[in-house]
Chain A
Amino acid sequence: MISGAEIVIRCLQEEKVDCVFGYPGGSVLHIYDALFKQDQVKHILVRHEQAAVHAADAYSRSSQKVGVALVTSGPGVTNTVTGIATAYMDSIPMVVLTGQVPTQYIGQDAFQECDTVGITRPCVKHNFLVKDVKDLATTIKKAFHIAATGRPGPVVVDIPKDITAQMCEFDYPKTIQMRSYNPVVKGHLGQIKKAVQILQEAKRPIIYAGGGVILSDAADRLTKLAHRLNFPVTNTLMGLGGFPATDRQSVGMLGMHGTFEANNAMHYADVILAVGARFDDRVIGNPEHFGEEKRRVIHIDIDPSSISKRVKVDVPIVGNVADVLDEMSKLLDTGFKTDPEVADWWQQIDQWRGRDSLRYKQAEHIMPQYVIEKLYEVTGGDAFVTSDVGQHQMFAAQYYKFDKPRRWINSGGLGTMGVGLPYGMGVLMANPDVPVACVTGEGSIQMCIQELSTCKQYGLPIKIINLNNGMLGMVRQWQEMFYSKRYSQSYVTSLPDFVKLAEAYGHVGMRIEKPEDVEPALRKAFTEHKNDLVFMDFIIDPTANVFPMVAAGKGLTEMILAEEL
């Protein structure tokens, strides 16, 4: 017989969890005590529970493993909600273990009590409250199973303190069967055949690839299939790296800040092969405008509710992206011929490409785009790039050409400012010794700045690329364009001296103000200071805006281009 707390740790060991991100407190003291007595599961002590969940999320995004966070009851839980919702929106597998007040106190407004299952219910794939120590191991097994299978997502397991003290036999189930949960894996063969037939007839095709390609580890399969078809490929923000950005067939990211060629190709395509993407509002713009063109849509997604939700789909294929692509490739090998008219389509695309919609003017100040281009050069395109949310995020997505999956770590769905730094921590725990750049802004970085302390404690050498324009850039951009330049509350005064701040935490700080200093500073950070966290405060042009831009409510082809201003 072992205690509930020991059972929790044994379960983590059985799941081959090598590290958890957390913060101790009253309700989880037994678990922390059990954690202390072993060394298989490492614990990363964050400075705020939100960061624990973000880090576990990035641990998962940057590897194939399930990230784990451990927090106490009450405020420990409420602090995790932003992180859980962030992971939920991007379908990231994660298990969050939360302490709860002892069973007999539940519902009594006890100290540090909150209704964890109730508060997290709308932003988890599933959650559990463990009421009997005999159910503890099975529940944790279920949590890992549910988190990682089907459309992945975060699962919360709420464990009352008395349960962690009770003694029980430990028996970890090897497999789990749930009559209510049996996600589909294989796609329907008849539908796949129908899809291949349509691909064969396509004259203006496009492959529209989303985060599902990354989650399903299907980047290689997609690349092979795209090459076989000779179709253009566009990636969503979540799908970057799912197809090599430097490949001739890549037309770049689409959507609100997508390239001219990607948005036009998507809009005017006669056949769209959607792979693990969900036609969200930031991708297709105004759905009525998008619906004006006649086209056939093939949609591969593991979640049936993503299909025909915003855009009517002609050939739905419910299944795991990797499995469906395998089946599709097999069928293609039996004599597929791309329609000769696709050559004309490529000419049209090249003409759109000729607009060079990501071109920008150099200025006296450092241009943010330039910083990202140099970051790409200096890291050889091989860094793991985490980002926060705002202009800098879009610049990173547009100018850092991701050739590999799981290298671009950002909050696409929820758009959570503050994730960048904890995301860097998660990446480094899952992938020790890789170069990690956190592209951020002076607004976002301050939302989880306390984690500089965690980075010091565990020696996490993140390179923070702070694109500092003294403004909440994306808010300012919208105010400039749609609110007659009334910059309501988008100007940040009283910024800290970031160099001193970094130094105060024991890190290296740099302030870069001239364009010619950008590259040397980056080189220094990634070579001389390879093992240090370097906070690079780039003072950038405060007027820089993100283009192309599809304004909210506009059609995908109604882009505002930089050259038009």
Chain B
Amino acid sequence: MRHIISILIENESGALSRVAGLFSARGYNIESLTVAPTEDPSLSRMTILTRGSDEVLEQITKQLNKLVDVVKVVDLSEAAHVERELMLIKVRATGKDREEMKRMADIFRGRIIDVTESTYVVELTGASSKLDSFIAALDAGLILETVRTGVCGIGRGDRILKV
């Protein structure tokens, strides 16, 4: 099962390595990890995309809670939530591909944020599956470079992760 774990953690040096170290030491996998300070600069919010059985997920959340720097842990995928990922993708855009690329970006509601004579950089936000579809829809030979932020997510409505 795919799970999105959200963590509020003290914004201190080494905090990230405690979390990453825990995952590698106990053999849990990290598909993506994203981290940045919150509106309270003393706290960071980390989002980890992982996979595992219910038992494994129970252990992951318990072990994370045990880390002294961790303030709160929640499995976002347990209930209603929204999730987004951002991708920047650099593609070759010459000749007839130039117009085709523009069209594809429009269809996926992407934005072209950098243009040169031969390339575009497209910015695309959405669920990870949408980003995957965009990549799949392009001619692989035209993709020069991709960078993705990893999933971040937030609970819907009254589900709030705060100190």
A binding-site residues for B, Cβ under 8 Å: 117-118, 121-122, 125-126, 129, 146, 151, 178-181, 303-305, 308-309
Bound Cα distance A449, B21 (Å)? 34
- Distance in Å from the Cβ of B7 to the closest Cβ of chain A? 11
In contact, A305 and B66 (Cβ under 8 angstroms): yes
Whether the pair A304, B62 counts as a contact (CB closer than 8 A) is: yes
Q: Which 7 A-B pairs have the closest CB atoms?
A: A305-B62, A126-B68, A180-B71, A304-B62, A181-B68, A305-B63, A122-B25
Chain B residues within 8 Å of A129, by CB:
13-14
Chain B neighbourhood of A126, CB < 8 A? 68-69
- How many residue pairs link A and B with beta carbons under 8 A? The number is 37
User: Which residues does chain A contribute within 8 Å of B69, judged by CB atoms?
Assistant: 126, 180
Chain B window 75-107, contacts with chain A (Cβ cutoff 8 Å), 1 for yes, 0 for no: 000000000000000000000000000000000
Query: A125 and B59: CB pair below 8 A?
Result: no
A121's contact among B13, B18, B163, by CB below 8 Å, is which?
Answer: B18
Shortest beta-carbon distance from A185 to chain B in Å: 16
Q: Which partner residue on chain B sits nearest A123 by CB separation?
A: B25
Give A125's nearest chain B residue, CB to CB: B68
B53, CB-defined interface residue at 8 Å: no
* Interchain CB contact under 8 A, A309 and B59: yes
Given contacts A121-B21, A179-B163, A180-B10, contact A308 B68 (CB under 8 A): no
Asked whether, in the complex, the Cβ of B59 is within 8 Å of the Cβ of A179, the reply is no
**Structural contact, A308 and B17, CB atoms closer than 8 A:** no
A59 to chain B, nearest CB (A): 23
Asked whether, in the complex, the Cβ of A180 is within 8 Å of the Cβ of B55, the reply is no
**How distant is the Cα of A121 from the Cα of B21 in the complex, in angstroms?**
8
Q: Is the CB of A118 within 8 A of B17?
A: yes
B132 within 8 Å of A by Cβ? no
Return the contact of A308 from the options B9, B58, B71 (Cβ within 8 A): B58
Q: How far is the CA of A180 from the CA of B12 in the complex (A)?
A: 12
Are A117 and B68 neighbours in the complex by a CB distance under 8 Å? no
Q: Quick one: which of B14, B17, B21, B70 contacts A180, CB cutoff 8 A?
A: B70
Q: Given the interface contacts A122-B25, A180-B71, does A304 sit within 8 Å of B163 by beta carbon?
A: no
Task: Report chain B residues within 8 Å CB of A146.
Answer: 68
> Chain B residues with Cβ under 8 A from A125's Cβ?
68
With A117-B14, A304-B62 known to touch, is A122 a contact of B21 (CB < 8 Å)? yes
Interface bits B1-35 vs A (CB < 8 Å: 1, else 0):
00000000110011001100100010000000000
Residues in A whose Cβ lies below 8 Å from that of B58 = 308
Looking across the interface, which residue of chain B has its beta carbon closest to that of A117? B14
Residue B128 CB within 8 A of the other chain: no
Kindly state the separation between the CA atoms of A247 and B62 in the bound complex, as whole angstroms: 37
B50 located at the interface, meaning its Cβ lies under 8 Å from any Cβ of chain A in the complex: no
Contact yes or no, B25 A303, CB < 8 A: no
Does B65 interact with chain A (Cβ within 8 Å)?
Answer: yes
| Among A117, A122, A304, A308, contact of B65 (Cβ-Cβ < 8 Å) | A304
Chain A to chain B contacts (Cβ below 8 Å), 15 pairs: A117-B14, A118-B14, A121-B17, A121-B18, A122-B21, A122-B25, A126-B68, A146-B68, A178-B68, A180-B10, A180-B68, A180-B71, A304-B62, A304-B65, A305-B66
Residue among B66, B69, B70, B163 with the highest chain A CB neighbour number at 10 A: B66
Which residues on the B side are within 8 Å of A118 (C-beta)? 14, 17
Q: In whole angstroms, how far apart are the Cα atoms of A178 and B68 in the complex?
A: 9
Chain A residue at minimum C-beta to C-beta distance from B18: A121
When the two chains form their complex, are residues B70 and A305 in contact, meaning their CB atoms are under 8 A apart? no
In the complex the two chains form, is A179's CB within 8 Å of B63's CB?
no
Max chain A Cβ within 10 angstroms of own Cβ: one of B59, B62, B63, B69: B62
Q: How far is the CA of A99 from the CA of B55 in the complex (A)?
A: 41
**A305: which of B9, B21, B59, B68 is its contact (CB, 8 Å)?**
B59
Q: Are A308 and B55 in contact (CB under 8 A)?
A: yes
Given A121-B14, A308-B55: 4 more A-B contacts, CB < 8 Å? A121-B18, A122-B25, A129-B14, A304-B65
Please tell me which one of the listed residues A179, A303, A305 contacts residue B71 in the complex, with CB atoms under 8 A apart.
A179
Q: In the assembled complex, which residues on chain B have CB atoms less than 8 Å from the CB atom of A179? A: 71, 163
Let me know if B21 and A303 touch, CB within 8 A: no
Contacts of B65 in A (CB 8 A): 304-305
Bound complex: CA of A305 vs CA of B70, how far in Å?
A: 15
Chain B residue, CB-CB nearest to A155: B68
Determine the distance from Cα of A178 to Cα of B71 in the docked complex, in whole angstroms: 9
B residues near A151, Cβ cutoff 8 Å: 66
Q: Which residues of A contact B25 (CB under 8 A)?
A: 122
Within 8 Å CB of B62, what residues of A?
304-305
Q: How many Å from the CB of A283 to the closest CB on chain B?
A: 18
- Interchain nearest-CB distance for A531 vs B (Å): 44
Q: Could you say which residues of chain A place their CB within 8 Å of the CB of B9?
A: 180
Q: What's the least CB distance linking A167 to chain B, in Å?
A: 25
